[in-house]
Every structure is written in C-alpha cells, then in structure tokens.
A and B are shown apart, each in its own frame.
Chain A
C-alpha cells in the first residue's frame, strides 16, 4: 500500500485540536491522575502527596471487602451477559424469521440501548420497590418476602435484570445483523435438504454466528464491569451488606464517600487493566471471521 504524506499544517492541527483536547481532558489527564494517586498517599492534613510504591495495591488486594466486590462483579458480569445474550439471540431469531409485526419489535427492542443507566435503575425502582413497585404485589400475598434493601440475593437479581435489560438491545442489533448476513440460499439449501427451522438454527445459523457470539461475549462482559454504576447507584446503592458493591461502584464509594483517593485510584488501575485485557481478547476474536462463499 502506498503511503500518503502530509506536510504539517496549522489547519490540520487546528482541526485535530478539539478532539485531542477532549481525549486529553477526559481520558489521559484523569488516567494520569489516577496513576499518580495510586502510587502516592495524601498526607492527613494536606501538604502534598508522599510516594508509597505498591502499598495502595497491597492494601486493596488484602482487603476482604475488595475481594467480595470482585466476586459480586464477576457474578453480575456473567449473569447479565448470559441473560442479555440469550434474550437478544432469541429475539433476533424471531425478528429474522419475520414473524408478524417484526418491524415494530425491531425498533422497540433497540430503544433500551438509548436509555442512560441511571434512568434504567430508576425505572426498575418502580418495578422492584417493595413498597410501591410492581413487585410489591408479592408482599401483599406474603408480607415482607420481597425487599431488595434487606435480602442480598434479591438485590443482586434486581441489578442483573436491570443490567441485562439495558444490554439486550446492543447484542440484539449485532445478532440480527449477523443472522441477516447469512445468505438466504443457505437456509433454503438446508430446507431442501430436509432440515426443519429448529434444526436449521442448530446446524446452520448458530455455528455461523460464532464470531458474533465471541465478539458480543467480550463486549457484554466489559460493559457490565464498567457501565453498571448508574444502575447500582439508583437501584441498591451497593447494599444490602455490600451485596451489590460492584468494583466500579466501590471505586466511587471509597473515593468520594470515604475520601480514600489513593485506594480508589489503585482499584481504578486494576479495573482498567482488566478491561484492557478483555479488549485485547476481543480484538483477537474479531480478526477471525467465517467466510460464506
């Protein structure tokens, strides 16, 4: 491939500047700040930071609460991903088969992705609230049975459902696109070969979806690690008994409520490394594609 060479020009620099400025202010600067805090400790009554090396990380990693947070984050990530992807796949298959009204469903299913996470959490408050939500009807039958501010498993279930509901849309779009990119003649050939719709799905559509499946798996896991803050904050506030204290929520709680900037920064760095590792895996899989012809 031939390379294009451009002379340095002030116009080019000026055109790039806004984008670079945004990336710098909202990504590099905070990241650098987090790194700085992660390796230093602020003196109790001000007066600058002192270098403490890996002490912050040691402290975080030896904190049982932190490992509790990691545990619930992993549970949340896996549960949300499995729930969201299986829902998305089911819906995509129905829409792909063009059952009656599929055009309306398609739009309706994509919408949740446009809803901000805190709004999702708030909306699910109306569903799960033990006193006023839809689930409060359970309590009229069996008083006190449903209360997500009291029972950890109920709180986890609630954020998993809310999180999955939000993520279904994204996976749905990709699954549908992948299903529709399978040439129609393949499905027809399988129909001629005697395979019924369910058989065709198992033998043909699902194997051909494998690349999309891996891509979405990584994206969904990454998303549920980083994008869950709004839901947790509005729905459970991390409780009860730290049951929904996801990693990303704990960073906020430790840093801005507990004023432990250094501990929170160390946790941020760990989370960042985790997301980078997942992204790396994702790029490895995206490269592998099934060719149809």
Chain B
C-alpha cells in the first residue's frame, strides 16, 4: 500500500515562505495531478514528497511511514524530471538499468529487465544509443522506463511533457495514463497545463501561492469551483465574472451596470453582499439586442472550427461566449445575451469563496430581467 499523507506541510527558504500548512491525502493507486501556475509551489510539493527538499514543518507519510527524515532512495519513489535528466555518458540501456545496478541486481537479470522495460515503452531498438542521439519523445520514454523499472510504490512526474510539441504531448499523455492503468502505482503529476490535468487525473489538486485551493475530480472542479481563483483557472476559454451586489429580497444579483439577474435558487449570501457572478462561455447564448438579460458590445469574433468564440464587452468588463451557430453580427454593435443561470456560480466579492445555494435542489426558474 502506498497512500501518501501530507500533514500541515510548510516549506520556507530563509524568510521566504513557499508553502504553508498544506494538507493532502493521496490514495493508494490513485493518479493525482497537481495543477497551478508557475511559482505556486507545486513542484516544491513534489520534491518534498521525493525527499529532494527538506520539510520545514509538518510531516509526510508514504504507506503509513513518516518519511520526513528518509533519504530519497529510502522512500520508494521514482521521478520523471522535466528535462528528463538522463545520464549523458550512458547508453539508453545503462540509463534504464542504473537503479538496478546500484541496487546490486545481477547482470543477467538486469539486462533482461532492461530489455523488457524498454520494449514496453517502445524503445527496444534504441538500447545502445546515447541520449544525445535520441529525439525529445524518445528521451521522454527513457525517463519513463528508468522510473518504471524500479517498480516504485510512488511515481512522481515533474512537468514531464512540457518540453514536447503539442502532438507528441497528447500521445505521451495517453501513454502515461495507459502505463498507470497497467501498473497502478500511486502517481503524482505536476503540471501547469489544465488539459493535462483534466485528462490525466483521477483527482485534481489546484494550487495557488503555496496553498491548496481545491481538491476534487476534474468534473467536480469544473462544475463546482470552490473559489474565484479555481473558477478562473480551470476552463478554456476562461469563466466570465460579473461584479455586483446580492439582493436577498429578490434573490437576485444587481450588476454594477444596474441589470438585475434573478438567481434560480436562494444563495447563502446576505443582503447587499458584494459578489461575483461567474458563468462559463458555453453557458451563454446570443439574443437580439434588448431581448436578452444584458446587452453587450461585440469586440472580436474568433472561429474555432467546431464553434465560434465571441468576445464582448459589458460596460468595460470583458465577456466571452461560445456558440455552435454562426450568425452574422457586425463588430462594434450591441447584442443581447442570455445566461443559463442553472449553470451560474456565485462567489464572495471580497474573499473569492464560493457561495452555495441554500436549498439542495436547484429549480430552474425564469426571472425576467427588469
């Protein structure tokens, strides 16, 4: 069993705090993706698990054993590095087999396992090459094989796909997921790419400024973002936010421009509370001017092929929506828009925390714009 328990972990360098009071439970055999912008502490968290950095406070346990004081080699983790970190003077076979050599595995067995592992990642024909003679994708595979061959309890991936081109990235993403489904080792994957996160993860961990914003399945995080930050970070194109005040009597959000958006359910907000109304571009539709809930000015239209991305402005707030239909509207003119309010999110205007509806059942209720 190799569940990972991270308890109140803090990491500081001198006076700079990288990470504060992080708690996270990763189940045995789970594929967890840690997602966040650069500098949010996600790589540091991975390196703390690996033992490449020392924990300032708190504790990390792997398989029930506290590993704070253990050397990397004693933790049973294998890691795939962003730049692959292949040994340049060793052949592919020597790279893959190095861990076994260090562990003192007899040569015959070592060679057999190297050959088998190399074959499983499609490197069978490249065993005698040096890393310098391989393409980016092949190097990536060597790095993978080097991790797999140790049959580790835990796999750690530090942005392993960011040096690959877009097509290869998708291919390697599938490969990584396939290997995980096969060997079922607990995996922690760090990335700043939300597509990688959404597609690979059993559970996603969204980090921001050294703290965890939300933990959940990709669907949970997409459907019920816990904060303004998560809502804006996950989803492409990003969620729209409209600032306003909550009107408890009317169960509505009064936008800064004066428009009143009636909510389908009563929310846990007090009268007059500053809020942000969040709505994803795919949950908004176009109407004739004056016929929607709000009017907006069309700035730029982008054709994405399967859909069309409309970039609008409501007063000075940028707002985007996606439609499958391709009506013609002149840029610079006004158009009406209608929000699918069952899909809307409400966030506190100050703290950015999610505001939930009071009732569990959310009834669709058409409230005409006043």
Stretch of B84-92, B198-206, B296-304 contacting A (4+ beta carbons < 8 Å): B84-92
Do A194 and B73 form a contact, CB below 8 Å, given A185-B81, A188-B52, A293-B132?
A: yes
Query: Are A194 and B103 in contact, with the CB atoms below 8 A?
Result: yes
Do A194 and B89 form a contact, CB below 8 Å, given A185-B83, A189-B81, A291-B132?
A: no
* Nearest chain A CB to B251 CB, angstrom units: 55
Contact of B99 among A183, A188, A193, A293 (CB under 8 A): A193
Query: Are B99 and A186 in contact, with the CB atoms below 8 A?
Result: no
Q: How far is the CA of A292 from the CA of B131 in the complex (A)?
A: 9
Interface status of B72 (Cβ within 8 A of chain A): yes
Interface status of B50 (Cβ within 8 A of chain A): yes
* Nearest chain B CB to A289 CB, angstrom units: 11
* Nearest chain A CB to B60 CB, angstrom units: 16
Query: Are B81 and A191 in contact, with the CB atoms below 8 A?
Result: no
For chain B residues 45-84, which have a beta carbon within 8 Å of chain A? 50, 52, 71-73, 77-79, 81-83
Interface status of A208 (Cβ within 8 A of chain B): yes
* Nearest chain A CB to B348 CB, angstrom units: 41
Do A192 and B88 form a contact, CB below 8 Å, given A293-B83, A293-B132?
A: no
Looking across the interface, which residue of chain A has its beta carbon closest to that of B139?
Answer: A293
Contacts of B131 on A, CB cut-off 8 Å? 293
* Interface bits A121-155 vs B (CB < 8 Å: 1, else 0): 00000000000000000000000000000000000
Contact of B78 among A183, A185, A192, A208 (CB under 8 A): A192
| Cross-chain pair count, CB within 8 angstroms | 65
Query: Are A192 and B77 in contact, with the CB atoms below 8 A?
Result: yes
Do A190 and B98 form a contact, CB below 8 Å, given A185-B83, A195-B73?
A: yes
For chain B residues 147-186, which have a beta carbon within 8 Å of chain A? 150
Q: How far is the CA of A4 from the CA of B79 in the complex (A)?
A: 50
Q: How far is the CA of A188 from the CA of B50 in the complex (A)?
A: 10
Q: How far is the CA of A80 from the CA of B131 in the complex (A)?
A: 37
Q: How far is the CA of A183 from the CA of B146 in the complex (A)?
A: 18
Q: How far is the CA of A199 from the CA of B132 in the complex (A)?
A: 23
Query: Are B102 and A188 in contact, with the CB atoms below 8 A?
Result: no
Contact of B98 among A185, A193, A291 (CB under 8 A): A193
Do A191 and B102 form a contact, CB below 8 Å, given A183-B85, A291-B132, A292-B88?
A: no
Looking across the interface, which residue of chain B has its beta carbon closest to that of A206?
Answer: B89
Looking across the interface, which residue of chain A has its beta carbon closest to that of B83?
Answer: A185
Do A204 and B87 form a contact, CB below 8 Å, given A191-B71, A192-B50, A194-B99?
A: yes
Query: Are A207 and B89 in contact, with the CB atoms below 8 A?
Result: yes
Do A189 and B89 form a contact, CB below 8 Å, given A194-B102, A291-B132, A293-B132?
A: no
Number of interface residues of B (CB under 8 A): 24
* Nearest chain B CB to A188 CB, angstrom units: 5
* Nearest chain B CB to A96 CB, angstrom units: 17
Do A192 and B132 form a contact, CB below 8 Å, given A199-B102, A204-B87?
A: no
Contacts of B83 on A, CB cut-off 8 Å? 183, 185, 293
Interface on chain A toward B: helix, strand, loop, or mixed SS?
A: helix
| Listed residue (A186, A192, A195, A199) with the most chain B CB atoms within 10 angstroms of its CB | A192
Q: How far is the CA of A188 from the CA of B78 in the complex (A)?
A: 11
Query: Are B81 and A291 in contact, with the CB atoms below 8 A?
Result: no
Query: Are A185 and B85 in contact, with the CB atoms below 8 A?
Result: yes
* Interface bits A26-57 vs B (CB < 8 Å: 1, else 0): 00000000000000000000000000000000
* Nearest chain B CB to A150 CB, angstrom units: 50
Q: How far is the CA of A40 from the CA of B176 in the complex (A)?
A: 79
Q: How far is the CA of A185 from the CA of B131 in the complex (A)?
A: 15
Looking across the interface, which residue of chain B has its beta carbon closest to that of A199?
Answer: B102
Contacts of B86 on A, CB cut-off 8 Å? 189
* Interface bits A188-216 vs B (CB < 8 Å: 1, else 0): 11111111100100011001100000000
Contacts of B77 on A, CB cut-off 8 Å? 192
Contacts of A177 on B, CB cut-off 8 Å? none
Q: How far is the CA of A184 from the CA of B35 in the complex (A)?
A: 24
Interface status of A290 (Cβ within 8 A of chain B): yes
Query: Are A192 and B89 in contact, with the CB atoms below 8 A?
Result: no
Contacts of A190 on B, CB cut-off 8 Å? 87, 98
Query: Are A290 and B88 in contact, with the CB atoms below 8 A?
Result: yes
Q: How far is the CA of A164 from the CA of B330 in the complex (A)?
A: 82
Query: Are B146 and A188 in contact, with the CB atoms below 8 A?
Result: no
Query: Are B72 and A191 in contact, with the CB atoms below 8 A?
Result: yes
Q: How far is the CA of A293 from the CA of B131 in the complex (A)?
A: 8
Between A and B, 15 residue pairs with Cβ closer than 8 Å are: A183-B83, A186-B85, A188-B81, A189-B81, A192-B72, A192-B77, A192-B79, A193-B102, A193-B150, A194-B103, A195-B98, A199-B102, A203-B87, A293-B88, A293-B131
B-side interface residues toward A, CB under 8 Å? 50, 52, 71-73, 77-79, 81-83, 85-89, 98-99, 102-103, 131-132, 146, 150
Other contacts beyond A195-B98, A195-B102, A208-B88: 14, CB < 8 A: A185-B85, A188-B52, A189-B85, A189-B86, A189-B87, A191-B71, A191-B73, A192-B50, A192-B52, A192-B79, A194-B102, A203-B87, A203-B102, A291-B88
